[in-house]
Chain A
Amino acid sequence: MSTRRPASVVSLRPTPRILLAGLVGGAATASGIALTATSGWLIVRASEMPVILTLLVAVVAVRAFGIARPVLRYAERLLSHDEALADLARRRSQMYAALVPLTPARLGRRSRSSLLGGVVDEITDVVDAHVRVTVPVVSGVVAGVLAAVLAALIEPAAGGVIALLLLAVAAASVVAYLLERSAQSELLSARARVQQVSDLVARSGLELQAIGAEADAHAWLADAHGTWRAAVRRQARGRSLAAAMILLATGVATAGTAWIAWREVSSGPVAALLVVLPVALGDGLAPLAEAMRALARTEGAQARVSALLDQVPAVAEAGDRIPEAVPEPTTDRLTASWRGDHPDMPDVTLTIEPGAALALTGPNGAGKSTLLAVLARHLDPMRGTYALSGTSVRDLDLAATRARFAVVDDEPHVFASTLRENLRFAGPDADDEDLTTALVRAGLGDLLDSLPDGLDTRLGSGARGLSGGERARLAIARAVVSQRPILLLDEPVAHLDHATAVAVLHDLRSAARERTLVMVSHRPDGLADFDAVIEVMDNGDISTTVCRRAACTDESDEIRQAEEAP
């Protein structure tokens, strides 16, 4: 499993195809400027009533520039957008891949809808920079330099004026960028909040109605919108200022070249060309104001994605040894922490023989789920050791170790797919018969029989919903399908009535006959079948060995809660 983050997820470095698009865009912008300039020349030259033939070259040039501009612009857009979308596809999957090692322990308080509305939008913004920043900036530089060179060839002073115009536009762009950037983080969080709230409110209508919180939800949304509006208004100042400054600079530059042409240039058509050149250039450079907004947006987005992805996984890379097919988990004074500051579970010294069934009970928050996360290798130990059949987990291959454990948490996800696909991802080799058997064993036989399309029935949002009990049983069926030797279950039967819970656990025990079982439960229901029941207490350290079918001595099977310090 890879824990390194590909730097390219948030990199702003333009690809060669994007630079090419920028050059093509520059040629398009230059064509537009040349079109205006040659038209001005042509009209003034015509007014001097020359032989028509002398106008022909200019007529051809006007036509060529008139055709070149749309054609080049079309090519630039196709190139840049195709590259940007391809890049987006790459980065989305890279970002997802980078999130995998951070899951689940490092997704922390960042809610899922905000992960979607925020991070996915942000990676889109980063990629957008190709089309919205790189291409216009490269185009502007290319066209601006060409215009300045042309003006300088005609009259050096006019070239100087154009160069000053370019400097003024550059300065306006920088000011716009700084203003936009200063409001950026505010705008981004406001936007993420709007997405998060609207997604939440739109999807949780039933839950909100249930508690009579419609007015609160609406107030949240109005509040998020208010913040968003203020941020957008503040940020628009940068763009507004740049647009105004570019126009003002264009006006002054036009006056400048007009003055120079009036004093220094004797040819009327050339003088006209010099007068309209800055106007055409100003038009061509106007998109830079918008580009600066995009740049500021990109940098903010880049920072936020980096902050998420730069976290250290909760589980460090381990060795490369492969654990035994049916390993025996042992821990010695093991404890762990989610945030790294204080232990979230008591010291646990535990041996679970293969095939044994252990139930963890105790009050909420005592650390039952933390222990389960450590056993599953979702969380590194803070202190103490954890070994599988005598080999420390730090020497064992992480993916191979995790593949020994099937985890059933208390809120299993139902994917928007068929029932078959909802099971098969846990065990890709399973055939329909295996899946059906697993469903029956998890107590979903009746449900399967009632489904018109059987295993092909679509589940998840927008399709058939599952009750809490059905969802839990689906998760157990997945664990059965996975054929992993150790099953870790976190409150799997919390939502089931007594009879069903007992039946499910019984089925589970028989389905998992050869498997090791560790189950967190606060209920005594159906635990009679278990080899040991350990009560996890806040400060009560645990030391025990769990044997299969009480094969070891009574004494070691006893639960000791060492009140004294070890």
Chain B
Amino acid sequence: MRPFDLRLLRLVPATRGPVGALGVVGILQGIATIALAFALTGVVVAVVDGTELRGPLILLVALFAVRATLAYAAEAIQAWVGVRVASALRERLVAHLLLTPIDRRPDPERTGTLAAQGCSAVEPYAARYLPSLVHAAVVPALAIVAMLVVDWSSALIVILTVPLLPVFAALIGHTTADDTGRRWQALSALAGHFADVMRGLPTLVAYGRGERQVETIEQVSDRHRRATMRTLRLAFMSSAALELLASISVAIVAVWCGIRLAKGNMELTPALLAILLAPEAYWPIRRVGAEFHTAADGAEAIEAVADLLAADASPLPALSTGDRGADERRDALVHIAADGLGYTYPGAEEPVLENVSLQAEPGLTVVTGPSGVGKSTLLELLGGLRTPTTGTLTAGRAHLVSQRPFVAAASVRDNLRLGNGAADEALWEALRRVGLDGTVAAMPQSLDTLLGDDGFGLSAGQRARLVLARALLSSAPVLLLDEPTAHLDAASSATIHDLIADLAERRTVVAVTHRTELLVAADRHHHLEPREVRS
């Protein structure tokens, strides 16, 4: 693990300012610390010699006040920097993920963990580890310079022993790097295990297997504990070893000063200064070692995100954000022309779709075919969510209502406004057209009513109508509907079928369905045969 991955500053420019602020505060704190050693020496000498104490005391208290002020500022700035760096990194990662088609995107489980837990681990990295790194760079240097001025021979001892610390730390760090990597994987697996078990809790409970998982969780957590303790033992050991090394070095300085003092070859002031300043050359470096274990996860996460951002530097496809010109060009395109389309899932050997040609213009195109023939995949290709393996495709900007459409744990309003940002009147009009206006009006907080992760409180049918209302609100010239009425009863289905026919007057609508009612209204019909039959 590198002490600081410079790619962070290059790939995520928003982190430059905060990291710079840490540097400034660190330098000021270093200067105050060194000055305080001088003031304390002045007080001790005045007390021992019985000379005038008022001046040294005032200086000491004043410098403590300065340090207190700086400490206040430093704590506040560190907290701010932690959040700022973690959120900047996460926003950059998420922007990257959202602009990458699914087939080029890494495993969602891994990126989910990276975006949620990984980036959160960056907070202590930036708020605690980075300041310690700044201290380690600033304070020892200042202390050594001050010692060179007051007692060069003590300074020489420090100069000769201080480099041992980073060398030592690097050696230990090198041996722990592999283990830290393993721990990150263990953590990832544990989080994945937990997420999986939690999501499956209703299923497990349904089969009386909920209780059984308790033991597994304890076992997995215990594996995690052992893996973590292995890493921690090394980290603590290295920290203890560095402290011991520092103690011995300071002791050498103290003995060297003591001998000269006892022989009358040295004044009390430089001797006191030497022993007060010497630890300042070591402890900031030791603290880096101590913060190592809180930072390791964050550093790993930064490297992982940087690798991800750097690996896929190809121009991002303009999906809908930002580039207004590109959006307008795609909006002007209202038809779909697919020729010889084929698709093979990443890692799969057999293509799921082969040689599919399909033309669609404003009007209703219905796609049918047996279960598992690749109808949903075809829609994802037409919607630009996947890149065809073979064949050519031109298609206007599309809004795809999938079989498991996205319903966020947010208000009805926020869910409806996704991707369109429409005003309330438009929302109500859309709800009216899908026949959901009465239901929403009767909800406790109307449009402000919160929906659960998968739309708790809404039946499957209501959910289906809600996402259709959202499709209505979309400005996309192409609408792709995957089994839009699968969850609806006959009466609701009829309403929705009329609505789809209505929509097809102005837009290009491609609907995958097994229902014959929709076929009647279709302008075009495309039947997907199983691949064996086609070939």
| Residues of chain B lying within 8 A (CB to CB) of residue A85 | 224-225, 228-229
| Residues of chain A lying within 8 A (CB to CB) of residue B87 | 194, 225, 228-229
Residues of B408-457 whose CB lies within 8 A of A: 408-409, 417-421, 450, 452-454, 456-457
The answer to the question of B314 belonging to the interface, with a C-beta cut-off of 8 Å to chain A, is no
| Residues of chain A lying within 8 A (CB to CB) of residue B385 | 206, 209-210
| Residues of chain A lying within 8 A (CB to CB) of residue B370 | 497, 499-500
- Given that A70-B240, A214-B99 are contacting pairs, would A195 and B120 also be in contact in the complex, using a CB cutoff of 8 Å? yes
- Given that A276-B40, A495-B486, A522-B489 are contacting pairs, would A201 and B98 also be in contact in the complex, using a CB cutoff of 8 Å? yes
| Residues of chain A lying within 8 A (CB to CB) of residue B176 | none
A245 lies within 8 A of B68 (CB) = yes
What CA separation (Å) do A255 and B191 show in the bound complex? 52
Q: Which residue of A lies closest to B489 (CB)?
A: A522
The answer to the question of B64 belonging to the interface, with a C-beta cut-off of 8 Å to chain A, is yes
The answer to the question of A115 belonging to the interface, with a C-beta cut-off of 8 Å to chain B, is yes
Q: Which residue of B lies closest to A471 (CB)?
A: B404
A71 lies within 8 A of B240 (CB) = yes
The answer to the question of B43 belonging to the interface, with a C-beta cut-off of 8 Å to chain A, is yes
What CA separation (Å) do A289 and B94 show in the bound complex? 34
| Residues of chain A lying within 8 A (CB to CB) of residue B191 | 116
Q: Which residue of B lies closest to A496 (CB)?
A: B371
CB distance from B41 to the nearest CB of A (A): 10
A66 lies within 8 A of B48 (CB) = no
B452 lies within 8 A of A207 (CB) = no
Which of A81, A221, A251 sits near B60, CB closer than 8 Å?
A251
- Given that A42-B254, A212-B319 are contacting pairs, would A77 and B232 also be in contact in the complex, using a CB cutoff of 8 Å? yes
| Residues of chain A lying within 8 A (CB to CB) of residue B44 | 40, 44, 258, 271-272, 275-276
B400 lies within 8 A of A216 (CB) = no
What CA separation (Å) do A111 and B206 show in the bound complex? 19
| Residues of chain A lying within 8 A (CB to CB) of residue B76 | 233, 236-237, 240
A495 lies within 8 A of B483 (CB) = yes
| Residues of chain A lying within 8 A (CB to CB) of residue B60 | 251, 254-255, 258
B460 lies within 8 A of A478 (CB) = no
CB distance from B423 to the nearest CB of A (A): 15
| Residues of chain A lying within 8 A (CB to CB) of residue B520 | none
Q: Which residue of B lies closest to A282 (CB)?
A: B64
The answer to the question of B160 belonging to the interface, with a C-beta cut-off of 8 Å to chain A, is no
B240 lies within 8 A of A74 (CB) = yes
Q: Which residue of A lies closest to B63 (CB)?
A: A251
Residues of A192-207 whose CB lies within 8 A of B: 194-196, 198-207
B214 lies within 8 A of A221 (CB) = no
B43 lies within 8 A of A236 (CB) = no
The answer to the question of A244 belonging to the interface, with a C-beta cut-off of 8 Å to chain B, is yes
What CA separation (Å) do A108 and B457 show in the bound complex? 9
Which 6 A-B pairs give the minimum distances between C-beta atoms? A251-B64, A111-B453, A89-B221, A364-B461, A236-B79, A66-B247
Please tell me which stretch of B110-118, B139-147, B332-340 contacts chain A, meaning at least 4 of its Cβ atoms lie within 8 angstroms of it. B110-118
Which of A74, A110, A279 sits near B40, CB closer than 8 Å?
A279
| Residues of chain A lying within 8 A (CB to CB) of residue B80 | 229, 232-233, 236
B61 lies within 8 A of A211 (CB) = no
Please tell me which stretch of A94-102, A160-168, A347-355, A386-394 contacts chain B, meaning at least 4 of its Cβ atoms lie within 8 angstroms of it. A94-102
| Residues of chain A lying within 8 A (CB to CB) of residue B372 | 447, 467, 469-470
The answer to the question of A498 belonging to the interface, with a C-beta cut-off of 8 Å to chain B, is yes
- Given that A117-B116, A200-B408, A248-B64 are contacting pairs, would A205 and B97 also be in contact in the complex, using a CB cutoff of 8 Å? yes
Please tell me which stretch of A18-26, A300-308, A406-414, A432-440 contacts chain B, meaning at least 4 of its Cβ atoms lie within 8 angstroms of it. A406-414
| Residues of chain B lying within 8 A (CB to CB) of residue A174 | none
Which of A52, A210, A415, A470 sits near B196, CB closer than 8 Å?
A415
CB distance from A290 to the nearest CB of B (A): 9
The answer to the question of A526 belonging to the interface, with a C-beta cut-off of 8 Å to chain B, is no
What CA separation (Å) do A469 and B403 show in the bound complex? 10
The answer to the question of A491 belonging to the interface, with a C-beta cut-off of 8 Å to chain B, is yes
- Given that A236-B79, A258-B57 are contacting pairs, would A275 and B64 also be in contact in the complex, using a CB cutoff of 8 Å? no
Which of A44, A55, A202, A376 sits near B111, CB closer than 8 Å?
A202
* Per-position 1/0 for A70-107, Cβ under 8 A of B: 11011001100110011011101110110110011001
The answer to the question of A365 belonging to the interface, with a C-beta cut-off of 8 Å to chain B, is yes
CB distance from A336 to the nearest CB of B (A): 16
Assign chain A's interface to a size class: 35 or more
What CA separation (Å) do A499 and B372 show in the bound complex? 13
| Residues of chain B lying within 8 A (CB to CB) of residue A88 | 221, 225
**Which secondary structure characterizes the binding site on chain A?**
helix
What CA separation (Å) do A261 and B43 show in the bound complex? 11
B46 lies within 8 A of A262 (CB) = yes
B68 lies within 8 A of A468 (CB) = no
A413 lies within 8 A of B459 (CB) = no
B271 lies within 8 A of A47 (CB) = yes
Residues of A245-269 whose CB lies within 8 A of B: 245, 247-248, 250-252, 254-255, 258-259, 261-262, 268
Which of A104, A109, A259, A482 sits near B57, CB closer than 8 Å?
A259
The answer to the question of A215 belonging to the interface, with a C-beta cut-off of 8 Å to chain B, is yes
Q: Which among A43, A97, A203, A217 has the greatest number of chain B C-beta atoms within 10 A? A: A43
| Residues of chain B lying within 8 A (CB to CB) of residue A499 | 370
A243 lies within 8 A of B399 (CB) = no
B112 lies within 8 A of A221 (CB) = no
| Residues of chain A lying within 8 A (CB to CB) of residue B119 | 198
CB distance from A477 to the nearest CB of B (A): 13
The answer to the question of A322 belonging to the interface, with a C-beta cut-off of 8 Å to chain B, is no
- Given that A198-B94, A259-B53 are contacting pairs, would A216 and B419 also be in contact in the complex, using a CB cutoff of 8 Å? yes
A46 lies within 8 A of B262 (CB) = yes
Which of B74, B233, B376, B399 sits near A212, CB closer than 8 Å?
B399
B488 lies within 8 A of A116 (CB) = no
| Residues of chain A lying within 8 A (CB to CB) of residue B402 | 207, 210
Which of B48, B221, B251 sits near A92, CB closer than 8 Å?
B221
A93 lies within 8 A of B218 (CB) = yes
What CA separation (Å) do A258 and B93 show in the bound complex? 55
What CA separation (Å) do A47 and B274 show in the bound complex? 14
Which of A233, A363, A410, A496 sits near B489, CB closer than 8 Å?
A363
What CA separation (Å) do A117 and B194 show in the bound complex? 10
The answer to the question of B462 belonging to the interface, with a C-beta cut-off of 8 Å to chain A, is yes
CB distance from A170 to the nearest CB of B (A): 17
B406 lies within 8 A of A240 (CB) = no
Q: Which residue of A lies closest to B374 (CB)?
A: A467
| Residues of chain A lying within 8 A (CB to CB) of residue B224 | 85, 89
| Residues of chain B lying within 8 A (CB to CB) of residue A59 | 255, 258
The answer to the question of B521 belonging to the interface, with a C-beta cut-off of 8 Å to chain A, is no
Which of A94, A248, A522 sits near B68, CB closer than 8 Å?
A248
| Residues of chain A lying within 8 A (CB to CB) of residue B268 | 43-44, 47
Which of A99, A247, A498 sits near B71, CB closer than 8 Å?
A247
The answer to the question of B507 belonging to the interface, with a C-beta cut-off of 8 Å to chain A, is no
Q: Which residue of A lies closest to B62 (CB)?
A: A251
What CA separation (Å) do A108 and B399 show in the bound complex? 30
| Residues of chain A lying within 8 A (CB to CB) of residue B203 | 409, 412-413, 415
* Per-position 1/0 for B211-251, Cβ under 8 A of A: 11111011001101100110011001101110110011011
* Per-position 1/0 for B263-275, Cβ under 8 A of A: 1101110011001
B210 lies within 8 A of A100 (CB) = yes
B68 lies within 8 A of A205 (CB) = no
Which of B61, B67, B255, B400 sits near A252, CB closer than 8 Å?
B61
